[in-house]
């Protein structure tokens, strides 16, 4: 009724609505301007600032930034063996954490989505989310106590301890996307596979895995990028090892060398871009 009234005698609001209705592009640009501004200014802007800073240097004594172009930071980064070792170690940790989380999360998510009753499903989701309510530091220190040589696990500290702790910390971020993906998978497909004679493994390989793969990719992006940037867990349970995050932190926090820290920080960004490009080739991103 209101629309017909607006059509018969358009007020200013009606005229605006009619204008927007006719000019789809204006409508679209108005709708998108806020998120695009956020993306452009806050997100890409910050990344760009980081990248530009990487080409500056600092006055080593007063700590002031020297805003003149130099390749020196990247030169140090590429020529120093230690940075390559640390980058590869961080990459290894991120891959290991992602694989462990995948192996633990997939059966869990499958059971939640397909085997549990709707009532149990809700409780399981809450249980998976519960650890996220506790502080990151509390959980990391809890693992420190458990891993201590007189603790419950008693493994001692080091890279293994770091991988175990990170796998625990990021597990919910893997379970939830896979759970959501599997929930959308019609159970009738599983029944159909069974009717056609496929056993468990074959059903998994030809039906469940291909359809849930985009969800797995989504989860792996979380666990992979979170592990790649972490520096606190490794400080708490890592013994004497260090990751990319520690190099960034040490250069900003202790040495006040923001440009070099920025140069180091581009390494995980590049690794993530390569990872996303590889994922894109599999076509998983289109089905997210």
Partner 1 sequence: MRSTSPRPVFLTRGLAVTAALALAALTACGGSTSGSGGSGGGTAAAPGQGGFNPPAIEALKSLGAGEGQVNLIAWAGYAEDGSNDPKVDWVHPFEQSTGCKVNTKVAGTSDEMVNLMKTGEYDAVSASGDASLRLIASGTAAPVNTDLIPNYADVFDGLKLKPWNSVKGVAYGVPHGRGANLLMWRTDAVSPAPDSWGVVFDPASPHKGKVTAYDSPIYIADAAVYLMSAKPELGIKNPYALDDKQFQAAVDLLKQQRQIIGEYWSDYTKEIQAFKGGDTVVGTTWQVIANLAKAEKAPVEVTLPKEGATGWSDTWMVAAKAKNPNCAYKWLDWIISPTANAQVAEWFGEAPANAKACAKTSDASFCDTFHATDEEYFSKVRFWTTPIAQCLDGRTDVTCKDYSEWTRAWTEIKG
- Is there binding between residue 34 and partner 1 (CB under 8 A)? no
- Is there binding between residue 64 and partner 1 (CB under 8 A)? yes
Scanning 95-103, 132-140, 203-211, 216-224 for contacts with partner 1 by CB under 8 A, the matching segment is 132-140
Q: Report the largest interatomic distance among the alpha carbons of the chain, rounded to a whole angstrom.
A: 82
Site string for partner 1, 177-216 (x = CB under 8 A): ----------------------------------------
Point out which residues pair with 211 in neighbouring strands. none
Q: Which of residues 213-232 bind partner 1 (CB under 8 A)?
A: 232
Count, residues in the chain: 288
Scanning 81-89, 179-187, 213-221, 277-285 for contacts with partner 1 by CB under 8 A, the matching segment is 81-89
Q: Which of residues 249-268 bind partner 1 (CB under 8 A)?
A: 249-258, 260
Nearer to partner 1, 14 or 239 (CB): 239
> How far apart are alpha carbons 128 and 190 in whole angstroms?
25
- Is there binding between residue 61 and partner 1 (CB under 8 A)? yes
Query: Residue 176: which of 127, 141, 210 has the closest Cα?
Result: 127
Decide: 27 and 20 in contact? Cβ < 8 Å. Answer: yes
Tell the smallest beta-carbon distance from residue 92 to partner 1 (Å).
14
Per residue, what are the HEC states of 211-246?
HHHHHHHHHHHHHHHHHHHCCHHHHHHCCCCCCHHH
> How far apart are alpha carbons 247 and 157 in whole angstroms?
19
> Between the CA of residue 209 and those of 67, 170, 176, 249, 286, what are the distances in Å?
51, 21, 16, 39, 16
Interaction site with partner 1 (CB under 8 A): 49-50, 53, 58-65, 76, 80, 82-83, 85-86, 135, 137-138, 141, 144-145, 148-151, 156-157, 232, 235-236, 238-242, 247, 249-258, 260
């Amino acid at each position: 009724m209101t629309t017909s009234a607006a059509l018969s005698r358009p007020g200013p609001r009606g005229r605006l609505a009619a204008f927007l209705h006719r000019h789809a592009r204006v409508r679209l640009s108005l709708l998108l301007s806020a998120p695009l501004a956020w993306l452009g200014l806050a997100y890409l802007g910050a990344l760009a600032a980081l990248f530009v800073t990487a080409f500056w240097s600092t006055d080593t004594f007063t700590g002031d930034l020297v805003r003149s172009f130099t390749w020196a930071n990247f030169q140090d980064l590429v020529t120093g063996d230690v940075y390559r070792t640390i980058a590869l170690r961080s990459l290894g940790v991120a891959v290991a954490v992602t694989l462990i989380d995948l192996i633990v999360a997939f059966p869990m998510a499958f059971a939640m989505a397909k085997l549990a009753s709707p009532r149990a499903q809700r409780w399981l989701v809450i249980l998976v989310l519960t650890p996220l309510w506790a502080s990151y530091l509390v959980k990391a220190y809890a693992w420190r106590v458990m891993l201590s040589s007189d603790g419950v696990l008693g493994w001692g500290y080091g890279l293994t301890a770091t991988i175990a702790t990170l796998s625990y910390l990021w597990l919910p971020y893997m379970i939830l996307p896979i759970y959501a993906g599997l929930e959308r998978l019609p159970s009738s497909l599983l029944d159909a596979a069974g009717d056609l004679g496929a056993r468990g493994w074959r059903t998994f390989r030809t039906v469940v895995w291909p359809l849930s793969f985009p969800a797995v990719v989504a989860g792996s992006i979380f666990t992979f990028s979170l592990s790649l940037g972490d520096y606190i867990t490794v400080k708490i349970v890592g013994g004497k090892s260090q990751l990319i995050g520690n190099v960034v932190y040490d250069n900003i926090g202790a040495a006040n060398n923001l440009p070099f820290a920025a140069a180091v920080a581009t390494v995980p960004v590049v690794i993530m871009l390569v990872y996303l490009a590889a994922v894109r080739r599999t076509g998983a991103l289109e089905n997210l």
